[in-house]
Amino acid sequence: MERAAETGYNLPLCSAHIHNSHPTPQHCSMRVIILDHPQQVSQLAADIICSTVATKPNAVLGLATGSTPLETYRLLVERYEQGLVSFAQVTTFNLDEYVGLGPDDSQSYHQFMHSHLFSRADFCVDRCHIPAGLAPDLKAEGERYERAIEAAGGIDLQLLGLGSDGHIAFNEPGSSLASRTRVKALSAQTLQDNARFFGSEEQVPRLALTMGVGSILAARRAVLLAIGSHKAAAVRDLVEGPLTARVPASALQLHPQAMILLDQAAASQLENTEYYHRAEQAQRTRSPA
Ligand code: F6R
């Protein structure tokens, strides 16, 4: 069991967790970790990614865009610059891309990943995959993307943000919980939330090519980050609500190895916080560093 550098949390990162595609039922868990400060959420996420790459240098990482992982990416770049981690052998698959935006478009997720992470560390760009939002046949592009993930051996660690409407990737409320990479229409809430990146709601693309809920559930480990009170209702529904396509993130309740990393504000509508703290405390007592 490794211990997170900054936060002191036990990370279930022995090689069996990373290499086993099917954890046995007794190893299945959804850990809810509530941290005091948003910065600790980013630090723990960076710790988990770095530990994964240290254990398996050619790990396959699933990556997210948006505001939430920005600080995590900054920390990864900092650790790379300090010589603490190398991504040279890593393969990455991003969750999604807007339909109609090419890789050179300043609003595309290609540009986002390039400017915040890929160009700032030693990633091999040939192994950094993002769905092609300009593909002439989007259905075929979705199928090609799924085959590429499979050919890479599947995703070892999937990083996720959370939409205020309960989406993961761009799987909006009502998405099939078995879905794979395909085109989805953005919800009214997401158009409103993402208007901040585009200047106005009208300019936000209406469609995205996105990994499905089923694609995300197939990742060997999933780590979802949520920061801020505007995520609190979605966090409550994800962790304590029923499993439902109305809240696609609730599908993580079925994931064999999911970690939900929250700051206090994002956790503020949870009912069982005392239990989550106690469960984490018990883990730490059972497996001291
Ligand atoms: C991004 C993605 C989305 C975001 C979510 C939260 O690749 O798939 O699900 O993670 O919309 O976005 P932020 O972090 O901007 O609040």
Report pLDDT digits (tens) over 176-213: 999 999 999 999 999 999 999 999 999 999 999 999 99
Q: Domain-by-domain residue ranges, the chain? A: 34-279
Give the contacts of 82 (CB within 8 A, at least 6 positions apart): none
Q: Does the annotation count 122 as an active-site position?
A: no
Rounded to 5 degrees, φ, ψ at 257 are -140, 75
**Mean pLDDT of the chain, nearest integer:** 93
- Verify whether ligand 1 is closer than 6 Å to residue 175 (CB atom): no
Flag whether pLDDT at 23 surpasses 60: no
Q: What fold, for 34-279?
A: Rossmann fold (3.40.50)
CB atoms within 10 A of CB 148: 14
Mean pLDDT of 138-157: 98
- Ligand 1 close to Cβ of residue 161 (< 6 A): yes
- Rounded to the nearest whole angstrom, what is the distance from the C-alpha of residue 229 to the centroid of ligand 1? 15
Give the Cα separation of 2 and 11 in Å (integer): 5
Predicted pLDDT at 2: 53
Counting every residue written for the chain, the total comes to 289
pLDDT score at 16? 37
Mean per-residue pLDDT for 133-137? 98
Q: Coil, strand or helix: which one is 152? A: coil
Q: pLDDT band at residue 25, thresholds of 50, 70 and 90?
A: low
Task: With a cut of 50, say whether residue 1 has pLDDT above it.
Answer: no
Which pLDDT score, from 0 to 100, does residue 259 have? 98
**Ramachandran region of residue 66, left (φ > 0), alpha (ψ -120 to 50) or beta?**
left
Q: Are 71 and 39 in contact (CB under 8 A)?
A: yes
> What is the average per-residue pLDDT within 165-178?
98
Q: What is the maximum span of the chain, computed from C-alpha positions, in angstroms?
A: 54
- Total-model pTM: 0.93
Q: Which of 96, 141, 146, 156 is catalytic?
A: 96
Asked about 167 being catalytic, the answer comes back as yes
pLDDT at 14 > cutoff 80: no
The whole-angstrom separation of Cα 40 and Cα 77 is 17
Q: Which of 97, 141, 165, 193 is catalytic?
A: 165
CB contact set of 234 (below 8 Å; sequence gap of 6+): 162, 163, 164, 165, 166, 226, 247, 249
Q: Is 105 one of the catalytic residues?
A: no
